[in-house]
Structure 1
């Protein structure tokens, strides 16, 4: 297998140093990525396989040491090289403790840089011998999505099959599962990624404006139409038009949408002239469209036009093994945004999150992590989580029992709580002592 050109990420708030490093490294036939801050470096690391990190130490907001510690924990096989203009013995020791392989002092020569980079890669090869071989790294990222569960893999496998064609796709799933992220992954990971991606929330557009907003209108088509105007279809020409909550589209819009899918042609409101369109349609819904068809609220012929390819996005409760990966993503995002540093979550707090059933899915998880970052001063622990998470317990499912049996069990629990005090138990149950005695008998 062929050797590949190594990817090197350079992080420095000094633009001149960045340009110098990039120029030297490119002349050595390396592929380079540049970041002027730790925040920018994290976004690159999230989406790109990096072979070597070269970072400055003294930077505003989050410094290079924190970046070293973070990459040492999350990318332990990746070698790290430090360049700095403020050398000191204590600083050098700290960088080596944080996982750096070598320490280069500014100013440095091209030869010194080449020697340090070579040393870093030799060190990396000792830790991972097949580093220079063309291999596809195991990754849990797909666009903005993260996961490693079986359900996540099923979704990404379908994305891989549809991303380079314009087949119509229907994405189904509960609210908060990330249906729009799936649509964006289809668009931005494929060969049409340079074309527009237009997202339309059908439920957010008043029914009387849906046609005009989608297909455009001509001057004088209705009161207030003072000029010709294009709609979302024209804006998405050559790219992807994403309909979120397609089930809320009016029947009139459904009819015109069906024609657009069949004939590849649309007509502006107030016009008799059709316009050719070349777009991919992706729709999403959290409703049961087959039930809507039975209720005459959704066209059956449109449903089958939309479901050329179906993607079922699993709820978070069915992919709980992905929770640590999602938490890491949100900690990185909000830690840098709110605290200007990288936060971590304790195993105990993570265990609490994995026990919860997540009715609001990924959107709810993101809100919880965002709140925890704001409320925490350091390591996020169980105490930083909302009370309803800390004290929730999942009981194993039991067979259904008669109401009388349930009542008996509850009375026993109350008596245990009051340590046999029947007066207190009667107060809690809001019955008198005689009724309680009858129930006990």
Structure 2
């Protein structure tokens, strides 16, 4: 169909659909990139030359319409093709209004896909300003809050975003450590370069080194070809090492060399390769304890911890909770087609008093669930039972000690027909003290 191998980015959270599309594109002589989320897709758009974007609409966290809008604003010369398994006139119109050139309903035939791709590429916008447009506010606005702690965090991000100093982000699970790392990357001079996120605890121990540093052909059984690692993929950009505290001693030693010598050794190679990568790492564990018990290298810790960011748990920045609730209501209201859902102040008050052991992630999940299950208004009855504990007495209903004492003295006097001697006996005070209290 095409002499030139155009680069097509396909975005879908369904792995089977991604594989099917990739095979179809290969048969049509296209080169494809694939992403399972909008965030991952934006990473690819920023770091690669893409000729066509194909995206599903229904995806978790951020939907395809938002990706279409983002791409239309920042990459106006890239045509967009929408695919969806939930067809309707409204979604079709919304997709086209957002910037899509064409619209396919699942399941579609090979010929329908071929025709649609051909039409999109043929009608590609002739934009003389054919370049990637970066907006440094896109990711920093995802960090929501008004607290002192939030303001301090934003200030640190602004200070470190344009330099290559290593950053260590420490804090409880769910406090947004990866979002902070992305904000540092996408708000600075490296925004147009790759951002590679690696969960060190999510990769099997026997694979982590080859995944990070790559390997040469014949390095081990099954190494049938040379494969670049994630550090290669992050060249000139940022690599984010989440759960760094779980890294093996061997990986720690290799990371120390990366930081000291700015070079890596692929598995099975004796030849070092120079790299230019900024390292941001994160952990929810206490690395000082790990150093003491011998599971983490002290010299690596100090190399990683040039700039330290301590995330504050949500329970310690209560003023941010109502702002986050509003943000998530807007986000998921739009995603699930319920933009008019509102929440009562009493419900917000209960959510604000909760300690949120799962932090921002837990709050976001609760709001997402409430949006799905609610009709128009989220009130106290909508909340999970675990959150609906007894509400505290309102301050205006509470009385001062002086008011309580006054009320009781008058009640006693009334009961004894204003007999002060009798009242003093009941109150267990002398008449002089009673007289002074009455004068007050």
State whether TM-score is above 0.5. Answer: yes
Of 136, 144, 147, 2:145 maps to 147
2:19 paired residue number: none
2:186 paired residue number: 188
1:60 paired residue number: 90
Distance in structure 2 (CA, Å) of the matches to 1:370 and 1:167:
36
Distance verdict in 2 for CA 1:271–1:393, change over 3 Å: farther
What are structure 2's unaligned runs of at least 5 residues?
1-62, 75-88, 95-136, 394-440
Distance verdict in 2 for CA 1:376–1:202, change over 3 Å: same
1:352 paired residue number: 350
2:260 paired residue number: 262
Listed one character per residue, the Cα deviations across residues 277-324 of structure 1 (whole Å, up to 9, x for unaligned) are: 001000000100000000100000000000100001100011111111
CA shift for structure 1 position 247: 0.1
Counterpart contact for 2:212–2:230, Cα < 8 Å? yes
Q: Note if 1:199 corresponds to 2:197.
A: yes
1:272 paired residue number: 270
Distance verdict in 2 for CA 1:205–1:217, change over 3 Å: same
Distance verdict in 2 for CA 1:62–1:41, change over 3 Å: farther
Distance in structure 1 (CA, Å) of the matches to 2:345 and 2:194:
42
CA shift for structure 1 position 374: 1.0
CA shift for structure 1 position 189: 0.3
TM-score by length of 2: 0.58
CA shift for structure 1 position 60: 3.2
Distance in structure 2 (CA, Å) of the matches to 1:316 and 1:63:
39
- State the SS of the aligned residue for 1:198: strand
Distance verdict in 2 for CA 1:141–1:299, change over 3 Å: closer
Distance verdict in 2 for CA 1:394–1:295, change over 3 Å: farther
CA shift for structure 1 position 340: 4.2
CA shift for structure 1 position 140: 12
Of 372, 379, 386, 1:388 maps to 386
1:164 paired residue number: 162
Q: Note if 1:248 corresponds to 2:256.
A: no
1:364 paired residue number: 362
CA shift for structure 1 position 351: 0.5
1:99 paired residue number: none
What are structure 1's unaligned runs of at least 5 residues?
1-36, 49-58, 65-138, 396-441
Question: Following superposition of structure 1 onto structure 2, how do residues 37-186 of structure 1 map, counting pairs within 5 Å?
Answer: 40=66, 60=90, 142-186=140-184
Counterpart contact for 2:314–2:356, Cα < 8 Å? yes
Distance in structure 1 (CA, Å) of the matches to 2:264 and 2:315:
41
CA RMSD between the two structures: 2.8
Of 224, 229, 254, 1:231 maps to 229
Distance in structure 2 (CA, Å) of the matches to 1:272 and 1:347:
64
CA shift for structure 1 position 350: 0.4
- State the SS of the aligned residue for 1:204: coil
TM-score by length of 1: 0.58
Distance in structure 2 (CA, Å) of the matches to 1:218 and 1:62:
47
2:78 paired residue number: none
Distance in structure 2 (CA, Å) of the matches to 1:392 and 1:284:
37
Distance in structure 2 (CA, Å) of the matches to 1:274 and 1:342:
58
Counterpart contact for 1:62–1:340, Cα < 8 Å? no
Question: Following superposition of structure 1 onto structure 2, how do residues 288-299 of structure 1 map, counting pairs within 5 Å?
Answer: 288-299=286-297
- State the SS of the aligned residue for 1:151: helix
